[in-house]
Structure 1
Amino acid sequence: MKGLIWFRHDLRLADNPALVALSRRCNEALMVYVIDPEWFRPAHYQSRHLGRFREEFLYQSLRALERELKKRKQRLVVKVGNPLQVIPDLCKKHRIDLVAVTDHPGVYERQQVAYLSRTLSCEVSVSESFSLFLRSQLTFDKASYPQTFSQFRKHVEKQNILPCIPISAPDSLPKHIDERRDIWGGQEFVYDLTPYHGGEDSGMVQLNQFFWKTQGLKNYKETRNGLDGWQFSSRLSAWLANGSISPRIVAAELDNYEYRHGRSDSTQSMYSELLWREYFQWMMHYHGASMFAFEGIKNKRPLTTYYCQNYKAWEQGTTEYPIVNACMRQLNQTGYMSNRGRQIVASCLVNELGVDWRFGAAYFEQQLIDFDVATNYGNWQYLAGVGADPRGQRRFNLEKQTEVYDPDGAFVDKWANAKSSESLLKY
């Protein structure tokens, strides 16, 4: 039997049910990743889907996946094109019997799988591993999905819904099917992502560092609102976003930590962050395209529009608000911004500058190494008052935020003389 696995947001061997299913049923297989040229073209709201930081992190992750597959006498076939043309062409050319793919809550991602399921003559097997829970563990529909995170968490706790146990990588892989690879990843990158480095091994190293070696988890509740540095948060979001590690692996390691050291406010804060991620994944699963709508899932129109001058000042870090400028310049030079920083700049764009929240969400999509569609758009709706926040529109007092989170001005001073985004984004 011949198979094909289409890697998307599951760039790993461990805890990959799609890969295990393929390995059990097929004796020959293609391992495929498709780079869509549309990712690099400006789309809605003046931004690209994929900016240079995440592009480099993706290529690092693909090279790491290729190395692991080679150890098992397989190879990664990277193709460039529209996946809804590439995958059917490969299936026809090699007479594929089974296509394996991992489910993802994204609107386009689900549409792609639905299209292949309808049009391919072979079997399409869809596995779940991008979230903590399985679809069968949740009893919601669109109308009954919790309107707030607190309601979601209470439901999970009351029903004793537990994360799935991660599974091991397959012992062996099917024999590879010969197929040419397209040219990919040959760009000269000018940004150093260190200490970020894409790939499953690097993600597991970071997990081990934060949980065990540096004891970052021990103090997580106290440090998680930091604005700069590496150890104030787990920094696992980038590896989770492209699937180099799974949230179930993180949850299992958290259980292991609590077994050894006991439950604490910090471990509960870490699990709460995993649940927030989970909440947004299922929100996108149930609400779909409403996650991108101006009115949001609340069907409420914000009193904002597009002011070009205001938006550009925000994007380049040249507003009248020093804390916002520092956060945006950090993002533009590193591809990263802390969770606290994201809330601050989102509140500024919407409330102080009066700009349509979708322009900010799209810019984050382009710039962030750890962009995750559900988490990004869920959080932006939350700040814009059209999403999951029970209090309505969140407006941060920027002076107070500065006093609390940058009391000595070190963060603002560090980024005050950094270049604006305009000089950095030379693609």
Structure 2
Amino acid sequence: MKGLIWFRNDLRLADNPALVALSRRCTHALMVYVIDPAWLKPTRHQSRHLGRFREEFLYQSLRALERELKKRKQRLVVKVGNPLEIIPALCKQHQINYVAMTDHPGVYERQQVAYLERVLPCEVSVSESFTLFLRNQLPFEQSTFPQSFTQFRKHIEQQNTLPCIPISTPDSLPAAIQERRDIWGGQEFVYDLTPYHGGEDSALVQLNQFFWKSQGLKNYKKTRNGFDGWQFSSRLSAWLANGSISARMVVAELDNYEYRHGKDESSQSMFAELLWREYFQWMMHYHGARMFAFDGIKKKRPLTSFYCEKFKAWEQGTTEYPIVNACMRQLNQTGYMSNRGRQIVASCLVNELGVDWRFGAAYFEQQLIDFDVAANYGNWQYLAGVGADPRGQRHFNLEKQAKEYDPDGSFVARWAQASPSESLLKF
């Protein structure tokens, strides 16, 4: 049988049920990734879907995946174009009998799957591995999905719902079907992503570094609200976002850590953050396009609009708020901002500047190396008061935040004079 796997947000060989299913069913297969030029075009909220940092990280991840496939006598066929045209054309050309892919909660991602299931004349298999839990473990309707994270967590605990156990890499892969690859990833990048580097191997190195070598997890409860540095958080979010590592693999490592050292505040805080990620994934799964609506899942219109000058000042880090400016300049030069920083700048855009939250969410989508559609839009709705926060709109006291989390002013001072032409890479 001839097969095709369409890699999307599952750029790894380990814990990849779609790849395992393909390997069991097929003797020959195409391994495909499609780069859609639409990702690079500005949206109506003035930002691109894919910015330069994440674009480079993606290309690094694809090259890493290609190397791993090559070791197993396979190859990654990268195509450039509309995947809903390319995948059917490849299936027809090579007489494909079986198509495998991984499910994703994103609205457009699910629409793409539904379209291919309708038009392809062959069997289409959609596996679940982007989330900790399977769909049948969380039998909600849109109307019954928990309205707050606390309710979601209590449901998980009361039902004793356990994350899926990650599965191993297939022992062997089907033989490669020959197909021309398009030119991709050949442009010069002006940014150095160090210490980030895309790919499954790099993700596993960082997992080991944070959990074991640097003892970052041991100190996570104390350090997780930091702004700068590498070890104050796990930094796994970029690899989780494009699927170079799965959340299930991280939880399995966390279980291993707790088995050896016992549960503590830091390990529990780490699991809570992964559960927050999970909550937003299922929120998008159940609420769909409402995650992008101005009035959010609450259908509550915020008292904001779009003010070009205010938005540009926020975007470029030239507002009257030093802590906000430092965070935005860090983002613009590194593709990264801490979780605390993201909450602060989002609150500023919505509350101090009165700007439509969707413009901020779209800018994050463009700039963040670790952009995840559900987590990004879920968090922005939360801060704007149109999402999952039972308390309503979150309004941070910016001066108080700066004093509490940057008491000596070192973070603000470091980024105060930063300009886009500088290369401040040790973030």
The TM-score normalised by the length of structure 1 is 0.98
Answer yes or no: is the 8 Å Cα contact 2:365–2:376 preserved in 1: yes
Partner of 1:208: 208
In the alignment, residue 270 of structure 1 is paired with which amino acid? M
**Distance in 1 (alpha carbons) for counterparts of 2:252 and 2:42:** 39
Unaligned runs of 5+ in 2: none
Partner of 1:372: 372
Partner of 2:195: 195
Please state if 1:43 is matched with 2:17. Answer: no
**Distance in 1 (alpha carbons) for counterparts of 2:31 and 2:13:** 12
Answer yes or no: is the 8 Å Cα contact 1:128–1:134 preserved in 2: yes
**Distance in 2 (alpha carbons) for counterparts of 1:248 and 1:62:** 21
Unaligned runs of 5+ in 1: none
Answer yes or no: is the 8 Å Cα contact 1:7–1:102 preserved in 2: yes
In the alignment, residue 88 of structure 1 is paired with which amino acid? P
Partner of 1:228: 228
Please state if 1:281 is matched with 2:296. Answer: no
After TM superposition, the structure 1 = structure 2 runs for residues 115-154 of structure 1, keeping only pairs within 5 Å, are 115-154=115-154
Answer yes or no: is the 8 Å Cα contact 1:316–1:422 preserved in 2: no
Please state if 1:242 is matched with 2:242. Answer: yes
After TM superposition, the structure 1 = structure 2 runs for residues 8-23 of structure 1, keeping only pairs within 5 Å, are 8-23=8-23
Deviant stretches of 4+, over 6 Å: 421-424
Partner of 1:72: 72
Partner of 2:27: 27
In the alignment, residue 237 of structure 2 is paired with which amino acid? S
**How many residue pairs are counted as aligned between the two chains?**
424
Question: Deviation digits for residues 147-172 of structure 1, max 9, x if unmatched?
Answer: 00000000000000010000000000
**Distance in 2 (alpha carbons) for counterparts of 1:163 and 1:64:** 27
Answer yes or no: is the 8 Å Cα contact 1:315–1:421 preserved in 2: no
Q: State the SS of the aligned residue for 2:219.
A: helix
Overall identity of the aligned pairs, in %: 83
Q: State the SS of the aligned residue for 2:142.
A: coil
**Distance in 1 (alpha carbons) for counterparts of 2:352 and 2:3:** 53
**Distance in 2 (alpha carbons) for counterparts of 1:311 and 1:36:** 28
Please state if 1:158 is matched with 2:144. Answer: no
Q: CA deviation at 1:231?
A: 0.2
Answer yes or no: is the 8 Å Cα contact 1:335–1:369 preserved in 2: yes
**Distance in 2 (alpha carbons) for counterparts of 1:423 and 1:131:** 35
In the alignment, residue 340 of structure 1 is paired with which amino acid? R
Q: CA deviation at 1:419?
A: 1.0
**Distance in 2 (alpha carbons) for counterparts of 1:327 and 1:195:** 19
Q: CA deviation at 1:262?
A: 0.4
Q: CA deviation at 1:399?
A: 0.2
In the alignment, residue 274 of structure 1 is paired with which amino acid? L
**Distance in 2 (alpha carbons) for counterparts of 1:418 and 1:86:** 43
Residues 1:420 and 1:313: Cα distance change in structure 2 (over 3 Å): farther
**Distance in 2 (alpha carbons) for counterparts of 1:358 and 1:211:** 35
Q: State the SS of the aligned residue for 1:178.
A: coil
Question: Deviation digits for residues 58-87 of structure 1, max 9, x if unmatched?
Answer: 000000000000000000000000000000
Question: Deviation digits for residues 386-419 of structure 1, max 9, x if unmatched?
Answer: 0000100000000000000000000000000111
Please state if 1:381 is matched with 2:381. Answer: yes
Q: State the SS of the aligned residue for 1:45.
A: coil
Answer yes or no: is the 8 Å Cα contact 1:317–1:421 preserved in 2: no
The TM-score normalised by the length of structure 2 is 0.98
After TM superposition, the structure 1 = structure 2 runs for residues 283-302 of structure 1, keeping only pairs within 5 Å, are 283-302=283-302
**Distance in 2 (alpha carbons) for counterparts of 1:86 and 1:318:** 43
Partner of 1:63: 63
Residues 1:422 and 1:194: Cα distance change in structure 2 (over 3 Å): closer
Answer yes or no: is the 8 Å Cα contact 1:17–1:129 preserved in 2: yes
Partner of 1:411: 411
In the alignment, residue 159 of structure 1 is paired with which amino acid? Q
Answer yes or no: is the 8 Å Cα contact 1:324–1:344 preserved in 2: yes
Q: CA deviation at 1:44?
A: 2.3
Q: CA deviation at 1:423?
A: 12
Partner of 2:343: 343
**Distance in 2 (alpha carbons) for counterparts of 1:107 and 1:180:** 30
Partner of 1:256: 256
Question: Deviation digits for residues 96-116 of structure 1, max 9, x if unmatched?
Answer: 000000000000000000000
**Distance in 2 (alpha carbons) for counterparts of 1:40 and 1:419:** 24
Partner of 1:395: 395
**Distance in 2 (alpha carbons) for counterparts of 1:2 and 1:239:** 30
In the alignment, residue 80 of structure 2 is paired with which amino acid? V
Answer yes or no: is the 8 Å Cα contact 2:333–2:423 preserved in 1: no
Q: State the SS of the aligned residue for 1:354.
A: coil
Partner of 2:308: 308
Answer yes or no: is the 8 Å Cα contact 2:223–2:232 preserved in 1: yes
**Distance in 2 (alpha carbons) for counterparts of 1:419 and 1:313:** 14
CA RMSD between the two structures = 1.2
Q: CA deviation at 1:184?
A: 0.2
Answer yes or no: is the 8 Å Cα contact 1:329–1:421 preserved in 2: no
**Distance in 2 (alpha carbons) for counterparts of 1:22 and 1:49:** 30
